[in-house]
Amino acid sequence: MHLTLRQIEVFNAVARLQNYTRAAEHLHMSQPAVSMQIKQLEEGVGLPLFEQVGKKIHLTDAGKLMYGYGRNIVSLLDEADEVFEAIKGVERGALSISVATTASHFATRLLAEFSKQHSGITISLDITNREALQRQLEHNEPDLVIMGQPPEGVEVDAAAFMENPLVMIAPASHPLVSQTAIPLSHFAQENFVVREHGSGTRSAIQRFFDEHNVPFNTAIEMTSNEAIKQAVEAGLGLGIVSIHTIELELETGRLKILDVEDLPVLRNWYVIQRKGKRLSPAAEAFKTFVLEQAERFIRLPGSSGKERGARR
Ligand code: PGA
């Protein structure tokens, strides 16, 4: 059986519209050319595909079968086309990602690895706090956002991909370093070095202290986790930070995690997009990469001391 794709396309149009003239208009062909394609297809198949009843044409039984095959062939070709377009898009696309300040400690590593796998993609990365990310999502600006908790008041699709434990840190020389299971109430008089209002970490810690009815004394506010670590090291106060921000300091022993009851506060990292947003192939590829591979590239310091804490 010798059939051409053109014959199948013409046949599909005639079968769908049940009319040679309308099919010819739809295909921008003359009616005799349409009839010729159908005649050749019927010769190829060896059976009549249409029959004329009065003024109308109908599919024969063989025609109905052919229509089933015809639609499958065209839809498979469309699918192949979409797949190839997606590959082209992934390899040449642009990607705009916004991440929470705290997530920047690992997001750059993720992007570096992703960009090794897709060297043609142009990436732009914005690092800002939770409040600003929420505004960006409201305005549908970035393709994807990585943050510590889906925002309220904006409709989003959020997928958790990794744990984000918040731990209490102290300088290595602090007297509490050697103690275990310190009750949270012990810190009622303590001064903390904290992130600015609008930080997701800050609001999670505040909620945690409120729920335990322990006052949270915020001595000094800082917009960067790096500055908090230095301040804690210098003895300005204790800190509560994401474990992702202190990998190096734990390794070198410059900061220690205090063993406090009910800590770590267990949070998750989410990859988030505005609900209904149609992701570009590049953004879709990055999202899949984060969900499937992030944990391979991000080492979580294993010294939090506890498995369970309060989830925020
Ligand atoms: P942030 O990030 O504290 O840097 O704002 C954490 C979060 O999004 O909750």
Atom of ligand 1 nearest to the CA of 195: 3
User: Are 136 and 285 part of one and the same domain?
Assistant: yes
For residue 105, report the distance from its CA to the centre of ligand 1, in Å.
11
DSSP 63-105: HHHHHHHHHHHHHHHHHHHHHHHHHHHHHH-EEEEEEEGGGHH
Q: To test the ligand 1 pocket, which listed residue (99, 129, 240) has its Cβ within 8 A of the most ligand atoms?
A: 129
What's residue 312's pLDDT? Answer: 54
Domain count, the chain: 3
- Is 168 found in the same domain as 256? yes
Residues 153 and 274 placed together within one structural domain of the fold: yes
CA of 61 to the centre of ligand 1 (A): 64
pLDDT at 302: 58
DSSP E strands, 154-288:
156-171, 191-195, 217-222, 238-242, 255-257, 265-274
CA of 167 to the centre of ligand 1 (A): 14
**152 is in which domain, residue-wise?**
89-161+268-297
pLDDT recorded at residue 38 = 97
Q: How far apart are CA 160 and CA 102, in angstroms?
A: 16
pLDDT score for 299: 74
Output the pLDDT for position 304: 42
The pLDDT score that the predictor gives to residue 232 is 96
Low-confidence ranges of the chain (pLDDT < 70): 301-312
Q: What is the pLDDT of residue 148?
A: 92
Residues within a 6 A CB radius of ligand 1: 100-102, 129-130, 147-149, 195, 199-201
pTM of the predicted protein model: 0.71
CA of 277 to the centre of ligand 1 (A): 23
Q: Within this chain, do residues 39 and 123 fall inside the same structural domain, yes or no?
A: no
Residues 128 and 207 in one domain: no
